Structure 1
Amino acid sequence: MKISGVDIRPGNIIEYENGIWKVGKIQHTQPGKGGAYMQVEMKNLVDGRKTNVRYRSADTVEKVRLDTKEFQYLYAEDEMLVFMDKDNYEQINLPTDLVGDAAAFLDDGMDVQLELYDEKPISVALPNTVEATITEADAVVKGQTASSSYKPAVLENGVRVMVPPHIESGTRIVVDVYERTYVGKAS
């Protein structure tokens, strides 16, 4: 589907230079002289390269539609992650870097969404939040609780997050997977 260069929005998947690119940031610019344009920051979904491109309203780009499919994470093997198709139980191996930093939050049996282009997986989306147990939390310094301050803590998967002073070691919390931030106490 063709769209105008000024209709590009963050999150769109577009075709550019025979590759598939995900739009990160956009900035609409209207200089005093000349026509308006859209400054687009994009990331290649196949090799991870980033680029900035200017599109004018007369330019058109091909918007790519991806298929999403539910998979279940099974286990990690060397630098590969093993996922199972929930429909036909087929297993596929994908490189860890396809998941990125969020790979630390993968749990055996976790449901994830794979985005497919021409039946080939190009990205893995985890749930936005997960529950995790704190294994290590710094002690609260006296007088520190007067203001809304946070202290460092380490989760069971080794990820460091900042938590409120009342959270102690052994507490289950909800963590934002992509921001690596404390969301709340697990119920």
Structure 2
Amino acid sequence: MATTNDLKNGMTLNLDGQLWNVIEFQHVKPGKGGAFVRTKMRSVLSGKVVEKTFNAGVKVEVASVEKRDMQYLYRDGDDFMFMDSANYDQISISKQVVGDAVDYMLENADAIVAMHEGNPLFIELPASVELVVTYTEPGLQGDRSSGGTKP
């Protein structure tokens, strides 16, 4: 248990039996009345974003979310196979859990998988990746405003 004063961005809360990620929060202390915490949270299961206001100091349940380093192996229909980098266990994650990350995943790429009670919640991809250009078309004559040096 934690209080609303301990909230941080990225924290996962268990409210009314559902898991919510804190996207942003703001501690507000008006001139008159008690302080409160205004939050914007995303549902882990549905992805729905809601704004919720708590009184300052109210206890909230922090969900135990374990983040594991995993490697994306391959796609099998609507499921994605990941391998745990620590113990080499392979797990299957549905397309619904992967979400928009499906458009940016490359085979054998690293990812962080958030797990709660053995179930994958969401996937975090690295902020940047290094790719190598293996082929490019030669530049066309007259197709540029400055001299082209591309082969």
Bin the TM-score by the shorter chain.
0.7 to 0.9
The 5-angstrom pairing of residues 61-100 of structure 1 reads 61-100=60-99
RCO higher in 1 or 2 (8 Å CA, sep ≥ 6)?
2
RMSD across aligned positions (CA): 2.8
Give the SS at the match of 2:8. Answer: coil
Question: Is the strand fraction higher in 1 or 2?
Answer: 1
Counterpart position of 2:121: 122
Deviation at 1:133, TM superposition (A): 5.3
Alignment partner, residue 24 of structure 1: 23
SS at match of 2:19: strand
Gaps (5+ residues) in structure 1? 144-165, 171-187
Q: In 1, Cα distance between the equivalents of 2:87 and 2:27?
A: 45
TM-score, normalising length: structure 2: 0.78
TM-score, structure 1 as length reference: 0.64
Decide whether the 8 Å contact of 1:99 with 1:125 is kept in 2. no
Q: Indicate the residue corresponding to 1:35 in structure 2.
A: 34
Q: What is the distance in 1 between the residues matched to 2:90 and 2:12?
A: 26
Q: Does residue 106 of structure 2 align to residue 103 of structure 1?
A: no
Identity of aligned residues (%): 27
Aligned length: 143
Letter in 1 for 2:16: E
Tell me how far 1:88 sits from its aligned partner: 4.5
2:66 and 2:106 map into 1 onto residues whose CA distance is: 24
Distance 1:20 1:116 in 2: 12
Q: 1:91: how far off?
A: 2.6
Answer yes or no: is the 8 Å Cα contact 2:101–2:123 preserved in 1. Answer: no
Runs of 4+ in 1 over 3 A off after TM superposition: 86-90, 132-136, 139-143
Q: Which has the larger radius of gyration?
A: 2
